[in-house]
Amino acid sequence: MDKVIVLTGGATGIGAAAAEKLLARGCRTIILDVIQPANAAGDFVRCDLSDTASIDAAIKKLPGKIDVLINVAGISNAHPGDKIMKVNFLGLRHITQSLIPLITDNGNVVIVASTAGVDWRKRRIVINQLLDTPDFDAGESWLRTNEDVWLENPYKFSKQSAAAYTYRATGLAVNRGIRVNCVNPGSTGTALTKDFRQLVGEQMYDWGVHQIGREGNPDDIAEIIEFLAVGECRWLNGVELTVDGGYIAGLLGGWINLQDAPAAELELS
């Protein structure tokens, strides 16, 4: 397979696992990240998604044509709120819309959001206000003006925005057969897990994992990313895939009862 893949956040965690799978399939995989990946098999371009100048400079170093863009890069609530929003949504949107013209016909875009964002429809009106902003700078201005609606939990709001953006991005080049799909990972063991445990609460996190048998690992998510990026799914377009071992299904199906949880410090559904 000779596809050219651009993968943000490919140096660690889920992104690194996805890069390994794509490299094994013979794809030319170009990793955009703020740190050098340990795997030297893929190309590397330094890129900070919180900075449009860095994104634009990275894009200039990419080939003139690519087949797939995979947006994995993300940061946790351990960072300042404005940076979380820039990396997890504004930068993701900027690079996606900048690279759509470079993606070959019938190519793919994969957005990695989170189960923390699956309930975005509950905040559709507010989220649409952010999505209506035309660019990175306008989005940043909206965030400064409306801190009261997102600053309490910027990670959740960023992932709600990313998941919701999937539906708009799907229309960017549907006439060229370019598909856009979203993966919403659940509790997955990565370098960010300690931050999520602190955000949710240690007992609540462990309780949630216990309901589905085990915590996910990066490879669990990477295999779904691989499927969306280069697998046989040519008419799958504009969907969110929740990959969480069944936790959300448990809440919806009633076999997981949040009232039994030790504490519900963060609503994930």
State pLDDT tens for residues 152-174. Answer: 999 999 999 999 999 999 999 99
Check whether 267 has a pLDDT greater than 60: no
CA distance 111 to 159: 10
**pLDDT for residue 75 is more than 90:** yes
Q: 17-56, pLDDT tens digit by residue?
A: 999 999 999 999 999 999 999 876 689 999 999 999 999 9
pTM beyond 0.85: yes
30-39, 104-113, 124-133, 137-146, range with the lowest pLDDT: 30-39
- Work out the number of other CB atoms within 10 angstroms of the CB of residue 105: 10
Nearest to 113 by CA among 179, 186, 209: 186
The count of other CB atoms within 10 Å of the CB of residue 140 is 17
Residue 240, strand partner residues: 182
112: left (phi over 0), alpha (psi -120 to 50) or beta: beta
Q: What DSSP element (H or E) covers 95?
A: helix 91-99
Query: Which pLDDT belongs to residue 190?
Result: 86
pLDDT confidence of residue 40: 64
Asked: is 4-194+217-253 a CATH 3.40.50.150 domain? The reply is no
